[in-house]
Amino acid sequence: MQARFAATVLNARHQAYRGAYLDLLKSQWQDWSRLTEAVRSGHPVDRDEQETPDYRRQFSWAMHHRSLEVAARVARQLDLGRARSILDLGGGPGTYALAFMERHPRLSATLCDRAAALEVAKDIAANHPARKRLMYLPLDFMSEPIPGRFDVVWYSNVLHIYSPEENLALFHRVLNALAPGGTLIIQDAFLHGREDLHSEEASLFAVSMLLFTERGNTYPFRETAAWLRKAGYVKVRPIVLKRGTGDWEGGIVAASRPIRPRERSARRRP
Ligand SMILES: C[S@@+](CC[C@H](N)C(=O)[O-])C[C@H]1O[C@@H](n2cnc3c(N)ncnc32)[C@H](O)[C@@H]1O
């Protein structure tokens, strides 16, 4: 068993190789020992380390190795309706965008992230059958306008990096990047339950956000749903996947851009 693990997951020449994610976890081992420091200062432990292209590339490979299997499982279960275009906002290595396109042969994806992350995504997509349907959008989406109109915007594992105010402002801007009736789908480590303490994994992840981000956190599902309504979305609803198959348990919420009366009559016209 151990030998098989070493020959596959730890073997850089094997397709099951997950070394980049293991490297990330290993580097975080030291950081966790500085938790007291982060609590006392109120700042992440790697505050002085800059966002370098090298760091971003390594992190993107780690994200790819982390989500390769789960992305396919999520894509199999998410109903994208008749969507033809999806914006993967903060999509990093593009693992999810590729999984969605593999599942939906008429879907085109736009992958938005920092330039260094997109370099990794291009390497990963190079031999993928859906590569011609993938577009790249190098952008800081928090400070720059988001161009285009999409049927679906997929915001996965990014919510927890930002504060409630930043996420709310982004939800407002994403509304303009959605086609009438289009859907924003958010995947994250949501807190659930009456006390907003479940799951343990999501609570613990909040501590790692304290270690690694300036303003991030894990958020209650119902709070996130309330931000979405406040930003003008309708039909805010959880998307339930088969137990044990998602990235996080209870980790998906969808919300629609309303169709304005003028748009409704335009859609009716032949
Ligand atoms: C934790 S990773 C998630 C990657 C992928 N969406 C997933 O679910 O595996 C967060 C990604 O968001 C990107 N990101 C965060 N803030 C960003 C910003 N302001 N502009 C562009 N990309 C951003 C990061 O570069 C990173 O690739």
Going from the Cα of 214 to the center of ligand 1, the distance in angstroms, rounded, reads 15
pLDDT tens track for 90-113: 999 999 999 999 999 999 999 999
Alpha carbons 148 and 128: distance in angstroms, whole number: 24
Going from the Cα of 59 to the center of ligand 1, the distance in angstroms, rounded, reads 10
pLDDT at 267: 66
pLDDT tens track for 164-201: 999 999 999 999 999 999 999 999 999 999 888 889 99
Sheet holding 252-256, edge to edge: 134-138, 108-113, 85-89, 150-156, 178-187, 252-256, 234-238
In sequence order, the β-bridge partners of residue 113 are 138
Q: For ligand 1, say whether the CB of 63 is within 6 Å of any of its atoms.
A: yes
Q: For ligand 1, say whether the CB of 251 is within 6 Å of any of its atoms.
A: no
Confidence (pTM): 0.95
Phi, psi (rounded to 5 degrees) for 87: -105, 120
Alpha carbons 149 and 137: distance in angstroms, whole number: 13
Q: For ligand 1, say whether the CB of 113 is within 6 Å of any of its atoms.
A: yes
Q: For ligand 1, say whether the CB of 114 is within 6 Å of any of its atoms.
A: yes
The mean pLDDT of 129-145, rounded to a whole number, is 97
- 15 contacts: CB under 8 Å, gap ≥ 6: none
Going from the Cα of 140 to the center of ligand 1, the distance in angstroms, rounded, reads 10
What average pLDDT does the structure give for the chain?
A: 94
Q: For ligand 1, say whether the CB of 90 is within 6 Å of any of its atoms.
A: yes
Alpha carbons 85 and 108: distance in angstroms, whole number: 5
